[in-house]
Amino acid sequence: MLRVIPVIDVLNGVVVHAVKGNRQKYQPLQSVLTTSVNPLDVATVFKRQGFSELYIADLDAILENKPNFALYSGLVQIGFNLLVDAGITAIETAKKLYSYGVSKIIIGTETLPTISFVNEIIQQISAEHIIISLDMKDNKILTPHNFSDSTEMSELLKQLCRMSVTDFILLDLSRVGSNEGVNIDLLTQISTILTHNGNGGRVYVGGGIQSLDELLSLKKFDVLGVLLATALHSGKIDINTLKQTGLLF
């Protein structure tokens, strides 16, 4: 069953509209769903609509190493299964996220210090609570400037699969907030590599989703979940329609 997961991007403590990864140009959220830019308020709207999962891109943590643990705790208390990208670069931060009740800890390649770091976290927390985000821009994997491991997609995925990683996100920052559609070529490439590695790797997709028809078309790729923000806040994908098509239950 394809899961639709709303996304909240937080920068300087407020919800922002993410567009193509150009973070210096992100503006406070404007939404047909709410007039608030407070993360807890926006999350509460999603909860009332029936969503049980929520993805938080904590840009204050990713850019400034300032995770908002109080926010994560508040969202868990609202009742969400929480997926959080807090720019993890330290084992202790990952363990603290887990202790605050975060369901899935996102490790993004954009901030990944080394491939072996993933294995260290898995040894401390377990693979079932980890999702690797393949942070892409202009069809290239984003990594820190001092990243010394392979950034070739096939080799990177093979190494991660050997570590028992099963869940991945294709996050195409070039398409986030753009309504340009999913990068099907990249999705096909990743799905093929995971199939050939035989570990049953599952993929979430984020960036560019523009319509309900596109959502439904992703089923043929066995996509596990779709991360949505702009399409929900603009009203292009309607909550009632998601319920009628069985994508929100």
Reported as a single tens digit per residue, the pLDDT across 167-199 is 999 998 888 876 778 889 999 999 999 988 766
Asked if residue 213 has pLDDT above 80, the reply is: yes
On the question of pLDDT at 108 being above 90, the answer is yes
Give the Cα separation of 75 and 15 in Å (integer): 14
Burial of residue 24 (CB within 10 Å: 0-12, 13-18, 19+) is exposed
The CATH number of the domain covering residues in 3-244: 3.20.20.70
pLDDT given at position 200: 64
Please, are residues 93 and 127 in contact by the beta-carbon 8 Å criterion?
no
Q: Quickly count helices (H) and strands (E) in the chain.
A: 10, 11
pLDDT at 175: 82
> How far out from the chain centre does Cα 83 lie?
7
Which tens digits make up the pLDDT trace of 124-134? 998 999 999 99
How far apart, in Å, are the Cα atoms of 121 and each of 113, 118, 164, 180? 12, 5, 12, 35
What percent of the chain is predicted at pLDDT more than 70? 97
**Res 71: pLDDT:** 97
Q: How confident is the model at residue 157 (pLDDT cuts 50, 70, 90)?
A: very high
Average pLDDT over all residues of the chain: 91
Q: Is the pLDDT of residue 24 over 80?
A: no
Span 134-152, pLDDT tens digits = 999 888 999 999 999 999 9
pLDDT of 198: 63
Of the candidates 150, 135, 118, 139, the residue with the CA atom closest to the CA atom of residue 189: 139
User: Can you give the residue ranges of every domain in the chain?
Assistant: 3-244
Q: What is the pLDDT of residue 21?
A: 67
pTM given for the model:
0.94
Residue 246, pLDDT score:
87
Euclidean distance between CA atoms 174 and 249, whole angstroms:
30
- Interacting residues of 245 by C-beta distance below 8 A, sequence separation 6+: 212, 216
CA 156 to CA 147: how far, in whole Å?
12
pLDDT band per the 50, 70, 90 thresholds, residue 62: very high
Say whether pLDDT at 210 is over 90. no
The average pLDDT across 18-47 equals 90
